[in-house]
Amino acid sequence: MTTLPGIDHPLILVRDIEAARAFYNSLGFTLTPVGQHPWGTSTSLAVMERCALELMGIYDETLIDNLEIGGFAFGRHMQEALAEREGMALVALHSTDSRADAATLKARGLISQGPVDFRRKVRPPGMDWDEAVVSLDIFLDPALPRASHFLAQQHKPHLLWRPEWMQHANGAHHIAAVTYLAQAQEKALSRLTAMFGPANPGPAGWEVPTGQGVFRVLHPADWASVYGDTPRPVLAPNVPAGAAIDIAVQDLAAVRALLARAGHDVCETASGPAVRDVAACGNVVIRFVKG
């Protein structure tokens, strides 16, 4: 099976994007200035190698139904998800040709709501104002509203992958893994394996490698075997959902020292330190791993 590029950016919904930006900055991430989508959501990114973390809030609820496609309105989906709780909403898949990748996914049996093309104003460091041009293809499974995906293609990647934005005090380089918690793992696993190929047994649960990072599917009962005493995010029961993001860094000792200087408590796991204050992370576990 041809492997799609993989994880582009997990999308973390927060009610106060400025507070979330300040907290992530204290974890050693460089955050882009807050931008705006045409469907009423605000965005700030921690840009890494071919991927990013995205913090997302809502700045204008009157716009949430803009650019509806195939019964899916990005802004409304985010508003409804955020009304339920903060946390991971969707995960974008990295694409350099979203239409071709969409055709591949549909050939593998995934249902698409269709393409969304948009522009948003950006001002990268040392540059004048410009417009990011982005193509999305939505692949939302109504049975997996918190474990679905969309393809994301940046037509002007030089506006996003700026060296100044990619320098992080914590040494963040890329997203190593996204973990879904699922009591019934079959639906989430079936979706991921249709996209990326066979799952491998991990230390606990299953791991699906992609061309960029790993998707992990973990039963809640196995949480401690992977994340130790790290608090679990508050998730709806029986609904598979994103719970944790592993950030690859070169020097775990340096990360521990940075977090200690900033006054952050961590939980040590077999793979690296996880930030104990899950709520301040936007109801998601951020863990640093060697990579």
Q: Output the CA–CA distances (angstroms, integers) from residue 219 to 205, 246, 284, in the order listed.
A: 6, 17, 16
130-149 mean pLDDT = 95
Given this structure, which CATH class describes domain 7-159? alpha beta
User: In this structure, what token pair is assigned to residue 176?
Assistant: 């190593």
| pLDDT tens column, 206-226 | 999 999 999 999 999 999 999
Structural contact between residues 33 and 59, judged by C-beta atoms closer than 8 angstroms: no
CATH no., domain 174-290: 3.10.180.10
pLDDT band at 3 (very low <50, low <70, confident <90, very high): low
54-68 mean pLDDT = 97
Q: In this structure, how many other beta carbons lie within 10 angstroms of the beta carbon of residue 246?
A: 25
Q: Where are the domains of the chain?
A: 7-159, 174-290
Q: Output the CA–CA distances (angstroms, integers) from residue 158 to 43, 47, 130, 274, in the order listed.
A: 18, 12, 11, 31
pLDDT band at 184 (very low <50, low <70, confident <90, very high): confident
Which sign, positive or negative, has the C-alpha torsion 244, 245, 250, 253?
A: negative
Q: Say what the pLDDT of residue 247 is.
A: 98
| pLDDT tens column, 226-266 | 999 999 999 998 899 999 999 999 999 999 999 999 999 99
